[in-house]
Amino acid sequence: MISLTSPVETRAHDWPAGAKLGALCAATLVLFWVRDPLWHAGFLAATLALYALPGRRFLRAGLARLRVLWPFVALIAVWHLVIGDVSGGTLIILRMITAVALANLVTMTTRLSDMMGVVRWLATPLRAFGLSTRAVEPAMALVIRFTPVLAQKGATLTLAWRARSPRRAGWRIVIPFAVTALDDAEHVAEALRARGGL
């Protein structure tokens, strides 16, 4: 598993994780409230400017992590072209890219331990009612850590298929991908049990 935090240190790395996550929630609400595509184009341009501020290396790393969105962008674009709603499709695409880019920006500039600290604080009221929140933090950490790993393994399976067949992989890699994910989950479960479990 790999860390999602950017190796390029920025000023945002020292900002409180709670403040960044709160700002992300507020920004997402604004994105879903505004319905003008021109405004959303401006929001996306501002987000890209935030990526560019720390330098070219940070910008390249951030944009590389957004490549997984392009199949969804293509699918949404084709569908809205078919139904004749270009404006609606543009709005959805701009909103999706900006929201994911902002979330990625927060992840890149926030240590996982700081995020888990916020989760621990948010779960405090649940513990007051006698509910155990012991499994919440490692579960969220595993989701955050495994997402890019699974995406990379899916890309590797696609490349392996292309090396053996001229046809597109498509649904054919679903079963090996599911088996790979289950295998990884089993290894992680064994590792957790070996360390005392949850």
Share of the chain above pLDDT 70, in %: 93
CB-facing half-sphere around the CA of 79: CA atoms within 13 A: 11
End-to-end CA distance of the chain: 19
User: pLDDT tens across 33-71, in order?
Assistant: 998 989 999 999 999 999 998 888 888 888 888 887 888
Rounded CA separation 177/86 (Å): 34
Question: 112 near 144, Cβ under 8 Å?
Answer: yes
- Whether the per-residue pLDDT at 98 is higher than 90: the answer is yes
Task: Count Cβ atoms below 10 Å from residue 156 Cβ, excluding itself.
Answer: 13
With CA atoms as reference, report the closest residue to 118 among 19, 5, 12: 19
User: pLDDT tens across 151-191, in order?
Assistant: 788 888 888 888 888 887 777 788 888 888 888 888 888 88
Q: What is the pLDDT of residue 47?
A: 93
Q: What is the pLDDT of residue 45?
A: 94
Q: What is the pTM of this model?
A: 0.69
Between 86-108 and 37-52, two packed helices, what is the crossing angle to 10 degrees? 30
Q: What is the pLDDT of residue 38?
A: 92
Mean pLDDT to the nearest integer, 86-109: 91
Rounded CA separation 15/20 (Å): 7
Residue given tokens 């005392």 in the structure block: 196
| Average pLDDT of the residues of the chain | 83
Q: What is the pLDDT of residue 5?
A: 67
Categorise residue 136: left if φ over 0, alpha if ψ from -120 to 50, beta otherwise: alpha
Q: What is the pLDDT of residue 46?
A: 94
Rounded CA separation 95/89 (Å): 10
- Whether the per-residue pLDDT at 72 is higher than 50: the answer is yes
Q: What is the pLDDT of residue 127?
A: 74
Q: Which residues of 37-55 are buried (b: 16+ CB within 10 A; e: fewer)?
A: beebeebbeebeebbeebe
> What are the residue ranges spanned by the domains of the chain?
1-122, 128-198
